[in-house]
């Protein structure tokens, strides 16, 4: 247990020292919510203003695990992998199981704290959202997304191995995910049909937003699209991980 505490502490410090992670995972969603929510107030009727702002808050919350876990883990672990840090930790009796589980725990803790900060910030700049049940559902779903994004990031590191190449791949995927989820200022309906299909059916971000909005306003919250999109996204990480393992076995 003491070993876990030390490794988790090390992982949290590594996260906090990474300015890019803090910028993308904490500052960016706050900035996006503030600028876009204030920018659209003059363009929408007053009777729907509250609902639009709430939908923006829900949508931008997906940026937290996407940046903090997907980008964060891929950047930190690929650099550690390239520098031989895991191998040196093994010499001190820290197994791969302890190392990876500590990384997962620290990442989930980071996402939870970052979401709370994001929520408090949003309340301070005009958000009216006090439904605790829906907030808890949001947190739960974000943690599920975090686990899938951790697997995807970890699989990419295992496949690519080099920090520079890995960072280029994950950063490209990050912006692609942001675009097809409608979090880059371009509405999903404005994208080509192929990208709309990917955003709604193969990635969990759009359905996460739709599900929580329906849940909040007492509409029929269909969980099937949310589950299927999460499973497809999960299968992507599993596929890349299997490919990396097959390649490593052939290289031996």
The 10s digit of each residue's pLDDT in 234-247 is 999 999 999 988 87
Let me know: does 85 contact 31? Beta carbons within 8 Å.
no
Cα–Cα distance for residue pair 141/132, rounded to 1 Å: 14
Confidence (pLDDT) at 232: 94
**What is the residue whose two structure tokens read 């295992």?**
158
Q: Token match 């955003």: residue?
A: 199
pTM of the model: 0.91
CA dihedral 43, 46, 51, 55 (to 10 degrees): 20
Contacts by 55-58 with C-beta closer than 8 Å and gap 24+?
A: 55/209, 55/213, 57/33, 57/119, 57/122, 57/127, 57/129, 58/138, 58/208, 58/209, 58/212, 58/213, 58/216
Phi/psi-derived region of residue 235, left when phi > 0, alpha when psi is between -120 and 50, beta in every other case: alpha
Determine the pLDDT at residue 1.
59
pLDDT by residue (tens digit) across 43-97? 777 778 888 899 999 999 999 999 999 998 898 888 888 888 877 877 777 778 8
pLDDT at 2 over 80: no
Range with top average pLDDT, 21-25, 77-81, 172-176, 218-222: 172-176
φ, ψ dihedrals at 145, nearest 5°: -60, -40
The answer on pLDDT for 119 being more than 60 is: yes
CB 233 within 8 A of CB 202: yes
Least confident of 64-68, 141-145, 153-157, 184-188: 184-188
pLDDT tens for 174-190 read 999 999 988 887 778 88
Average pLDDT of the chain? 88
Q: Which residue has the higher pLDDT, 1 or 172?
A: 172
Residue 249: phi and psi, rounded to 5, are -65, -35
């Amino acid at each position: 247990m003491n070993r876990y505490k030390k490794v988790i502490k090390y992982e949290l410090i590594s996260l906090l020292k990474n300015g890019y992670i803090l910028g993308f995972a904490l500052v960016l969603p706050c900035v996006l919510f503030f600028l876009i929510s204030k920018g659209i107030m003059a363009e929408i009727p007053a009777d729907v203003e509250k609902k639009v702002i709430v939908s923006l808050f829900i949508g931008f919350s997906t940026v937290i695990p996407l940046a903090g876990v997907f980008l964060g883990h891929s950047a930190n672990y690929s650099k550690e992998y390239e520098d031989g840090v895991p191998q040196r930790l093994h010499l001190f009796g820290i197994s791969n199981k302890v190392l990876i589980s500590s990384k997962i725990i620290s990442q989930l803790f980071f996402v939870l704290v970052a979401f709370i900060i994001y929520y408090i910030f949003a309340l301070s700049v005009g958000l009216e959202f006090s439904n605790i049940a829906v907030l808890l559902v949001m947190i739960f779903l974000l943690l599920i997304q975090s686990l899938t994004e951790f697997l995807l990031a970890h699989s990419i590191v295992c496949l690519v191995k080099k920090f520079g190449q890995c960072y280029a791949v994950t950063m490209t995927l990050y912006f692609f995910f942001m675009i097809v989820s409608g979090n880059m200022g371009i509405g999903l309906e404005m994208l080509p049909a192929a990208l709309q299909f990917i955003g709604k059916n193969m990635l969990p971000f759009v359905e996460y937003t739709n599900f929580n909005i329906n849940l909040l306003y007492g509409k029929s919250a269909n969980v099937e699209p949310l589950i299927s999109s999460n499973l497809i996204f999960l299968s992507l990480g599993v596929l890349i991980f299997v490919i990396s393992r097959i390649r490593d076995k052939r290289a031996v």
